[in-house]
Structures are given as C-alpha cells and as structure tokens.
Structure 1
Amino acid sequence: MAAALLIGMAVCAAGCLVFRAGNWVSVSAAQKELPIYSVERKDKVCALTFDAAWGNEDTQQLIDILKTENIQATFFVVGAWVDKYPESVKALSDAGHEVMNHSATHPHMPDLSTEQMTEEVQSCNEKIKAITGVQPTLFRPPYGDYNNAVISTMRSIGMYSIQWDVDSLDWRNPAPSEITKRVVENAQNGSIILFHNAAVNTPAALPSVIAGLKAKGFSFLPVSKLIYTENYTMDHTGRQIPNTVG
C-alpha cells in the first residue's frame, strides 16, 4: 500500500490516482470548462436569442414582432455582419434589445491561439460599442464550438460564454409549426432558446412560439438579466446554479 501511495503522489502532476474497487484509477485533474447553457430559476422565465452572421432579410420583422409582444431579446452578431448592416445593429439597440458578441469572422474558436481568440472578440466588441454605445459582456462561440481555452480566454477578458439548451433548428428551414412545437415543448425555467436571423420560417414561427410559451406561464428576459454573474456554480450540463435559487 505504501508503494502504491508513492506511485499516486508521483503522477499527481498529470492527474490523480484514486483507490477504487481494489485498483488505482487515474482521474484527470483538469476540469472541463463549460459555457452557460441554462440557468436554475424558480420563476418561469426564459431568454430568446438570435444569431446574426450572414443575411439580413428579416431583422426588422423580428424587431417588429418582439416590439408587439413587448419582449427584449439578445442578438449575437458577427463583426462582419456589423460592418455590412450597421443600421440594423442600431435598430436592434434602439428597440431595447441586447447586441452581443458572436466573434469578428465566425471562425472555429478552438482552432485559434489565445491571442487570436482575444482579437476576434475584442474587434467585434469595438464595432458593436461604436454603434450602440454599450460594451458587450456576452459571447456566443460560432458553431457552438468551444474548449477549455475558449471559455477561460473569454473569462480573462470579462466575457460570459453563452450556449443554449433549446435549439429551434430554424436554420434547417422546418415548418413554422415544427419550430413552435420543438421550442414550446422543450423550454424550462431558465432556458436559453436559439434562433437565427435570416432563417426562412423564423418570423412566421415566432408569434406562435411566444404565444405557446406565454400560455405555459413564461415571461422573457434578455440573457444578461437571466444569468447570474456571481455566487453560482455550474453543473455538468452547463446549468448555472445560484447559491440561493431566485
């Protein structure tokens, strides 16, 4: 046993050995970093989010629908989209929606160095702030693609990384009724729901999505007001758990 303990101590730099069922088992010391997928809430509240990376066919329609429903949403925009459609960025901000960061060029972030990740995000932040006057604090990785380095790099520059736990799959162009069914059936307290601008059937589906969620008792917050910024832990699914559930 003494020899086994010495072996265990020797490998602690790479991981840990634990004595389990009569054998020493290696357990990685590194903990997987996770973005925020959802939030533990007692109240029936969720967030509508839209990624804007390519087209701009329906941005004003989405603004008009959300205005009618008196809902503030969060739009994650790519820096190149900001360059191409600055008037839409201003319209989103003027309508009371959050305009947050979806990178400068929509790369696979894990393929980049820490310096390149930082440049991608800070460049996009500068473009958004120049139009809205607001410094973004939330980042959604393009393609939902991340690793430990992405999450820790974002944290080091003051950004919360945001995923989703309900995917409308609107980019596949399903019928509006399919989008509605998928979102309404899967939403739970603290859900972050993913849509895209320039998806063919999202404007047609959005009113019925909202009606269905309201019928289940949901109200809506932008992501920055849904998440916790201190005194929380993360479970293995990426769900924020506050020290005191609100």
Structure 2
Amino acid sequence: MKVILINKKKLLLFLILILFFSGSMIYFNDIGYKVLEVLASDKMLPIYSVNTEEKKVAISFDAAWGDQFTDGILDILDKYKVKTTFFLVGFWVDRYPDMVKKIYERGHEIGNHSTTHPHMSKLSREEIIKELNTTGEKIYNITGKRPNLFRPPFGDYNNTLIKTAKECGYYTIQWDVDSLDWKELGVKPVVDRVTRNIKNGSIVLFHNNAKYVLEYLPLVIEKLQKEGYKIVPISELIIKKDYYIDHTGRQRKIDKSKSNNCIK
C-alpha cells in the first residue's frame, strides 16, 4: 500500500486555486456572454449620441414610478421654450393617462419604455414584441400617434432587442450623459455632471420623478442655452436614414461621396 505525503503548503495552495476557479466560473457564467458579445464583430449598438457640427442636444425623461413633479417639469419647459422626449412605461401610461395626454398636447415627444420595465436582453423575440406593441398601442390610443423611439429599461439590450425593435419601427435610444438624478445627491452634482459632459449631439438622461428635478432642471437649461445649445426632442436630433453607429454608440451619417466608407 502506497502512502502519498502532501506538503501542507502545496495542499493549501491547491485548495485556494480550486476556490478561485470555482468562483471565477460562477462569475463568468453570469457575465461571460456579455463580454463575448462586446468583443464580437457583429455587436449591435443603440444610439447613444449623434455626430453633428450643430450645437444641438436632446434632454429626455424616463417615466415609470410616479408623476408628482411632471406638471412642474412641463411648466419649466414651457418657460424656456424647450421641447423634449418622455419615455413612458406601460403601467405608468395606465396610471396617468391624463398626464400622457398633457405631455403630448404641450408639444413634447413620447417614446416607448416597455410595458413592464423588464431586463429586455433576457426576453425572447416574441416577448420583446409584446412589450413594444402593448405600450405602443396604449400611447397611440391616447395621443393618436405611434411612438418610434424606444429606450430599454436599465439601458439593458442585446442584438435581438435592437433587431426586433427596428422590425417594429423603433430606433433604440440610450444616452451619453447620465445625470444620475435618481441617486438624490442634490442639485449641484446633477447640474455639474450634465453641463460638464455635454457636447454637440448629446442625449441626456433625466427621470420625471427625481427628487430635485424642479430645482436642477432650470439651472441646466439656462446654462446650456447660455452656452449656445439648442435643446430639441430626440427625433429632431437623430439621423433617420443612411447612417451607421460607431463603436462608441455615436450615430454618424454615411458619406456617400467616399467610396471607402464601408459599413460592417
């Protein structure tokens, strides 16, 4: 009978390695597919911003959890003669149909933000279509206009989502300036974060029920207008056809005069 003697240090190292690789497998099992997707050459991206020489930007509001500040937002936007885009979740539309109508009648654009606010990358094509169509129909029944902009909840997307949204007539919209207003850090952090990161073609993310929205919104608008920016709805900012999206998510117009302008 053979007796194998194992050095205590080697045994300890062996056990540590086992624990490390076990943890790594669990971790990468959860995010590995996302890493591979990012590295893949056929990775599709939504529109994060738009390449333009004009000093035009868009500010947008996601609406999902309340409406106590929405009237105030509309009044501020009227005061500064600004039109924006509101992305609405289906259950928000159900709860506040009069507010949906008011947003539309005040001249603002309404986009689709799903029906149940799920992680869209985890849904099948059929489930994505249901999320889009259900809320699209709700918005149409109130406003008489079908939305053609879609913002995925949590900014969560994959190729299936973008392809399916396009088939359903939607441009998938993200943002390149996140106000982080949902963190409730105060007024100054939001104003500083937005105004320091803005550039031509930026899309800014706000939330209609953020705690300090009625305080930071006029300050942001005043500063942007003072710097010469024109604030427009997202549909007036994006390029509707003959475009591509670069690796940063910036939408660019195809220059047909250049023969080497290849799109993958």
Report the TM-score when normalising by structure 1: 0.87
Q: Per-residue deviation at 1:235?
A: 0.6
CA distance in 2, matches of 1:126, 1:159: 13
Match of 1:91, SS state, is helix
CA distance in 2, matches of 1:29, 1:137: 28
CA distance in 2, matches of 1:94, 1:65: 15
Matched, 1:150 2:183: no
User: Match for 1:189 among 185, 189, 200?
Assistant: 200
Aligned to 1:12: none
Change (3 A) 1:166 1:29: closer
CA distances 1:91-136 after superposition (whole Å, capped 9, x unpaired): 1000000011000010000111100000001000000011111110
Give structure 1 stretches of 5+ with no counterpart.
1-27
Match of 1:146, SS state, is coil
Match of 2:146, SS state, is coil
Aligned to 1:60: 71
Structure (1/2) with the larger helix percentage: 2
Match of 1:46, SS state, is strand
Matched, 1:109 2:136: no
Aligned to 2:3: none
Give structure 2 stretches of 5+ with no counterpart.
1-38, 256-264
Q: Per-residue deviation at 1:178?
A: 1.2
Matched, 1:85 2:96: yes
CA distance in 1, matches of 2:122, 2:189: 34
CA distance in 2, matches of 1:160, 1:85: 25
Matched, 1:171 2:182: yes
Match of 2:86, SS state, is strand
Greater C-alpha radius of gyration: 2
CA distance in 1, matches of 2:66, 2:140: 21
Equivalent AA in structure 1 for residue 237 of structure 2: L
Matched, 1:236 2:260: no
Structure (1/2) with the larger strand percentage: 1
CA distance in 2, matches of 1:122, 1:234: 25
Q: Per-residue deviation at 1:243?
A: 2.5
Match of 2:196, SS state, is helix
Aligned to 1:134: 145
CA distance in 1, matches of 2:121, 2:81: 37
Aligned to 2:48: 37
CA RMSD of aligned residues (A): 1.3
CA distance in 1, matches of 2:67, 2:179: 19
Q: Which runs of 4+ in 1 moved over 6 A?
A: none
Matched, 1:46 2:47: no
CA distances 1:131-158 after superposition (whole Å, capped 9, x unpaired): 1111100000000000111111111111
Paired-residue identity, %: 49
